[in-house]
Amino acid sequence: MIGIPVLLLLFYVSYQWRNRRLDKLLKAGLQPSILGHISNIRRRTKQLLLLLVLLFLAFAGANPQWGNKKAKVMAKSADIFLLLDISQSMMAQDISPNRLERAKRFAENLVNGLRGNRIGLVLFAGEAYLQMPLTSDYAATSLFLRTANTDLAGTQGTVIGEAIELANKAYEEDNNHHKMMIIISDGEDHDENALAKAEDVYDEGVVVYTIGVGTPEGDFIPYTNANGASDFKRDDSGKLIKSQFNEELLVNVADEGGGKYYPLLAGQQIIDDLEIELEKLDKREIEQKSFTDYASYFQYFLFAAIILLIIEFLLPERKTKA
């Protein structure tokens, strides 16, 4: 649309330039006798027609489209909560670059693989936090995953049971279809409530899957001390603390929750298998409204431009003889 005032300006400049040229070439008194047969009204009409031709051609080139049918589509969707461990032990580097970063990358890939379902996010360490309720806004979910870090946790620990309970409360009360939780953790601290909570939510129709982050060898936990220097976490006696990967806990949580356990290093195989598991769940039907048909209208502007161009061509500048 910015080209329209530019074209108007060009026509105005052209008109003024033409008049100045005539003033220089002809004396004012001779112009009526030489140009008397030219109709100024018709000449300006032809200029206006050319301007309209260019305007309609510009609209035609933009190919305007409008949706002319709004359809309601019923789609099946599962409700999935990702429960991500952000405790200090997740900073251990037995998995490069560290457990947390590797878990976040995997979680983003998982979100992309589970598109079409509603996804929520719970972060947990010594406490659990509802970071994002169930949503189909996958870009926002990925953003929250990328920004997750240990500083978001007010207290340290691994309260898997509390995270399960919090996610379960975030489900809609009137939704009786099966739901899914996916816990991504190193399971370092044994949570006595985790097994009981997993069993409870399974009885309510929620299937719990766990993904273990770490290696049996474990690793020391990087830490920045009060002076800002890099160090490793130590106990009260000054001895280095080595993070232990608690795979057994995660296996048991998945068993009690009716799901499966996966090691994070299985990568894409986990996502493929979870997609198969999803097909086994009862999914809730949701109504999606979308424009399903878009019509192009460029031909109308093109037709108008052609008609105006023909009129401009056939319209003479000479005055009609009386």
For residue range 95-112, list pLDDT tens digits in order: 999 999 999 999 999 999
Residues in the chain: 322
d(CA 20, CA 155): 82
- Which residues have C-beta within 8 Å of that of residue 142, sequence separation ≥ 6? 108, 111, 112
- Higher-confidence position of 269 and 17: 269
Q: Within a 10 A sphere around the Cβ of 7, how many other Cβ atoms?
A: 14
Among positive and negative, which fits the CA dihedral 163, 164, 166, 172? positive
- Higher-confidence position of 163 and 320: 163
Question: Of 44-48, 179-183, 226-230, which range is least confident?
Answer: 226-230
Residue with tokens 């008609």: 307
Among positive and negative, which fits the CA dihedral 95, 96, 101, 105? negative
**Residue 321's pLDDT is what?**
56
And the tokens for 61? 């080139």
Longest Cα separation, the chain: 116
**Residue 201's pLDDT is what?**
95
Residue 250: name the closest of 180, 188, 166 by CA. 188
For residue range 224-246, list pLDDT tens digits in order: 766 777 778 787 787 888 888 99
**Residue 144's pLDDT is what?**
95
Tell me what percent of the residues of the chain surpass a pLDDT of 70: 76
Average predicted confidence (pLDDT) for the chain: 82
d(CA 153, CA 171): 23
**Residue 268's pLDDT is what?**
93
Q: Is it the case that residue 289 has pLDDT exceeding 90? A: no
Question: Which class does domain 73-287 fall in?
Answer: alpha beta
Domain regions of the chain by residue span: 3-65+296-314, 73-287
For residue range 142-171, list pLDDT tens digits in order: 999 999 999 888 787 789 999 999 999 999
| Residues 285 and 176 sit within 8 Å (Cβ to Cβ) | no
| Residues 50 and 312 sit within 8 Å (Cβ to Cβ) | yes
Q: Within a 10 A sphere around the Cβ of 151, how many other Cβ atoms?
A: 7
Q: Is it the case that residue 55 has pLDDT exceeding 90? A: no
Question: Of 64-68, 210-214, 305-309, which range is least confident?
Answer: 64-68
- Higher-confidence position of 179 and 295: 179
Distance in Å from the first CA to the final CA of the chain: 43
Torsion angle of C-alpha atoms 88, 90, 95, 97, degrees rounded to 10: -70
| Residues 150 and 91 sit within 8 Å (Cβ to Cβ) | yes
**Cis omega before residue 97 (within 30°)?**
yes
**Residue 118's pLDDT is what?**
92
- Do strands 222-224 and 219-220 pair parallel, antiparallel, or not at all (unpaired)? unpaired
**Residue 10's pLDDT is what?**
67
- Higher-confidence position of 292 and 239: 239
Question: Of 3-17, 73-87, 97-111, 125-139, which range is least confident?
Answer: 3-17
Q: What share of the chain is helix, strand, coil (3-state, %, to 5)?
A: 45, 25, 30
Residue with tokens 């986990």: 270
d(CA 280, CA 245): 30
Tell me what percent of the residues of the chain surpass a pLDDT of 90: 44
Question: Of 12-26, 124-138, 247-261, which range is least confident?
Answer: 12-26
Question: What does residue 279 show for φ and ψ, rounded to 5 degrees?
Answer: -65, -20
